[in-house]
Amino acid sequence: MKNHVILRVVTKLLIPYILLYAFYVQWHGDYGPGGGFQAGVIFAAGIILYALVFGLQAAEDAIHPRVVHAGVAAGLLLYLAVGVVALLLGGNFLDYDAFGHHGQHHGILLVETGVFITVASVMVTIFYSFAELVRSD
């Protein structure tokens, strides 16, 4: 679909906004609907749109599958790390009050970031793996 001019231009226009909107949903989740899970899915949708229009190879060149595989683990590790750091600071596991005055705020943001990274990576991984199976190029 790369040779389809209108589609290509509009996709290029749209992808930054989809990714930006994912971050809006991520950081605004404390005040409105949304959070890490939804943001991760939206972010993955932006990358998948790129893969659909410009081809799987182009997407894999932009974001290598190895990076995505690392992201799958990194998000969960970030989540666990927040818990362990709270433990080391003298609180209970995942007790954000140990982080000080605005601890709850910071803890929730960090944990949501972990969820975001894992969900986005898993969605992109699933898409890459399935599209890989029947690629024609």
Partner 1 sequence: MKAYLVVAIAGVLVTMAMALVRAARGPSVYDRILAVNSFGTVTVLFISVLGFLLGRPDFLDLALLYALLNFVGTIAILKYFKYGNLAAGED
Partner 2 sequence: MIGEQLIGVILLALLALTAITIARLRNLLATAMLSGIFSLLGACWMLFLDAPDVAFTEAAVGAGISTILILATLCVVGADEKQVQESPLALLVVLVAGGVLVYGTLDMPRFGDPNAPAHQSLVTQAYLYSANAPAEHRETQPSRDAHELETFAVGIPNTVTTVLASFRGYDTMGETAVIFTAGLGVVVILGGARHRRFEPSETVDITPSDERPEA
Partner 3 sequence: MDAIREALSWLFIVPGALLCVTGGIGLLRLPDFYARMHAAGVTDTLGTALVLVGLMLQPADWTVTVKLAVILFFLYVTSPTAAHALIHAAYTSGHRPEFAKDAPLPREVESR
Residues that bind partner 3 (CB under 8 A): 1, 3-4, 6-7, 10, 13-14, 17
Contact between 90 and partner 2 by CB under 8 A: the answer reads no
Beta carbon nearer to partner 3, 14 or 131: 14
Name the binder of 50 from partner 3, partner 2, partner 1, none, CB < 5-8 A by kind.
none
Name the binder of 58 from partner 3, partner 1, partner 2, none, CB < 5-8 A by kind.
partner 1
Please report how close the Cβ of residue 8 comes to partner 2 at its closest, in angstroms. Answer: 19
Q: Which long-range contacts (CB under 8 A, 24 or more apart) does 54-61 make?
A: 54/1, 54/2, 54/8, 54/11, 55/2, 55/137, 56/128, 56/131, 56/132, 56/135, 56/137, 57/137, 58/2, 59/128, 60/128
Residues contacting partner 2: total by CB under 8 A: 51
Tokens of 68: 């995505």
137 close to 60: Cβ distance less than 8 angstroms = no
Please report how close the Cβ of residue 130 comes to partner 2 at its closest, in angstroms. Answer: 4
What part of residues 50-89 is at the interface with partner 2 (CB under 8 A)? 52, 69, 72-73, 75-76, 79-80, 83
Q: Which of 27, 53, 116, 126 binds partner 1 (CB under 8 A)?
A: 53
Please report how close the Cβ of residue 6 comes to partner 3 at its closest, in angstroms. Answer: 6
CA angle 69, 71, 74 (to 5 degrees): 120
Q: Which residues contact 84 (CB under 8 A, 6 or more apart)?
A: 93
